[in-house]
Amino acid sequence: MADHQEASVTLPSAPASVPAARAYVANVLAEWGLGEGEEAADTVRLIVSELATNAVQHTLGESPTFTVDIRLDHDGRLEIGVTDSHPRHPRRLCAAAHQDNGRGLVIIGCLAAESGGEVFVTPTADGGKTVGIALPWTVPVR
């Protein structure tokens, strides 16, 4: 058996791709043993929603697609990254209580920390970036 499992999907940078990314990740994680309704699955789906939303909203039309990569190491680490070709790295915004947006990275950071994980940003060779999370995996790997 390999020392890790991987899955990937590339989607258009459009609002309809956010639920598609979330569903894709949920299906992959279910195949790997993390079922719907489990708290960790809900956390990951919310994180993916925020990452995908950021990739769609903040690339300003400069990234026609984004890619969701999922990697599960058999030593207990789940990584999910969303890669786009826009060069600007994300930053936390000071969102006022009445604003509808601006909290994505804060939400992602809080959820990752509560799960014992971390958020990362990695530049890509083509000038874009991957924004993602690394979390401990507590479910037996299938």
| Alpha carbon distance 25, 27 (integer Å) | 5
- pLDDT value at position 2? 55
Coil, strand or helix at 57: helix
What string of pLDDT tens digits covers the 142 residues of the chain?
A: 456 799 999 999 999 999 999 999 999 999 988 766 678 888 899 999 999 999 998 877 789 999 999 999 877 899 999 999 998 887 665 555 445 555 678 888 888 999 899 999 999 999 999 999 999 987 665 5
- pLDDT value at position 41? 84
| Domains contained in the chain, CATH given | 5-136 (3.30.565.10)
- pLDDT value at position 4? 79
| Alpha carbon distance 136, 128 (integer Å) | 26
